[in-house]
Amino acid sequence: MNARTATVLEVDKDVQAARSAARGILTAATNLHAANAADLMARTEKIAAVAAAHAAAVDGESRFPNDAIAAARAERLLGIAVPRELGGEGAGIADVVDVCYALGRACASTAMIYAMHQTKVACLVRHGRTSAWHQLLLRRLCNEQLLLASSTTEGQAGGDVRNSTAPIERDGSRITLQRQATVISYGKEADGVVTTARRSPDAASTDQVLVAFLKQDYTLEPLVGWDAFGMRGTCSEGFKLIASGASEQILPVSYDKIHAQTMMPVAHLAWSGAWTGIATAAVDRARAFVRKAAQRSGGALPPAAAHLTRATASLRTLRSLICTALQSFEAASADPSTLESVDFQTGMNLLKVNASELAVATVMSAMQTCGLSGYRNDGEFSLGRHLRDILSAPIMISNDRILANIAAASLLSGAPNSLSD
């Protein structure tokens, strides 16, 4: 063997060793991720069990799901999406949506509260990176398992989150804000509120900022109560929000960026996960009804079984829709220009519209499967609560407003050249 051959063999051995080491690292990382995912799901199942046990009472009494949120705190699920270096678990958006889905199968109000909280956390994580105040808030959130509420609905503008009436007032390094917040879900129970506001008294209504206030920073004066058809446990009351704090509590990125890159897509994904959970729970009951009916009739399926087929089909479509949207968001998450593009924004807005309508259709098909047994409130196959909760999906966050807002984008876009485009 000459020296050149020996050198080539040594290099080849080094390459093989490096490849083997890389495979080992990838395998270890995959195993660690799987272990972390299994642990997260096990903790989520504990919370879901508590939420399910109290879901009827939460709905009937229109009360905040204290037991479920206490369980979420005990299992440290409120800070899972915060980076590890700040005390969280570095969970991705798919993990958060999975938790929303699991909670939605147990208690719709708990799932929506969790989804709204995680949307605020996502905004702080992505857009508070250069802010020492917000980094400290995220550390506190993990250590103390703080629950954050959202205030984006205001006065006569209703759900027009891209316009604000109330401005931030400045006095040196201090700021104040007074806004007619016609909806602050679980406002009384939250440890803090993350709110939109006009940047200054002379700013345009669309020139907005996002501000985080802790409980000691504000008072809530009741404006509107909450006796609603569904989602009764979200306690989505209206308040006059009177807040004061330090100027560094304003996120250092303008709200138009925050909304496009994080607030809207994360909210639509998390809400969709919760709605899919509700729809899945309804289909589970419908399937159990058909099985029981078949047992009673010696194996013959009842005529309403066709509705179960329709419910299952629409649920499959719903799940596929969310999986595709998750992949799209994860692929674009590191590229602000893609996140802000017309195509991406339109797709994420249509996710909310399509997911909410599919979820309603799924629960309706489940209700038709169960017939009177589903219509009743006092039986094992009752679906009244599921139907009332899911009807909030296209209404509480208006599909009409979303469709009107993206009408111009629909005019600008053309037909794709192929099915894969």
- Give the pLDDT confidence of 403-421 residue by residue, as tens digits: 888 887 777 667 777 766 6
Quote the pLDDT of residue 409: 73
Of the candidates 187, 165, 189, 204, the residue with the CA atom closest to the CA atom of residue 65:
189
pTM for this predicted structure: 0.90
Quote the pLDDT of residue 298: 86
- Give the pLDDT confidence of 72-122 residue by residue, as tens digits: 999 999 999 999 999 999 999 999 999 999 999 999 999 999 999 999 999
Quote the pLDDT of residue 2: 59
Let me know: does 397 contact 119? Beta carbons within 8 Å.
no
Quote the pLDDT of residue 302: 87
Report the distance separating Cα 233 and Cα 235, nearest Å.
5
- Coil, strand, or helix at residue 77? coil
Task: Pick out the chain residues at pLDDT < 50.
Answer: 8, 11, 15, 18, 22, 25-30, 32
Quote the pLDDT of residue 397: 82
Backbone angle region of 352, left / alpha / beta, with phi > 0 → left and psi within -120 to 50 → alpha: alpha
Q: How far is CA 233 from the centre of its chain?
A: 16
Would you say the C-alpha torsion 55, 351, 150, 238 has a positive or negative sign?
Answer: negative
- Coil, strand, or helix at residue 176? strand
Instruction: Provide the 10 A C-beta neighbour count for residue 197.
Output: 26
Quote the pLDDT of residue 198: 96
133 to each of 34, 215, 263, 306, how far by Cα in Å?
33, 15, 20, 56
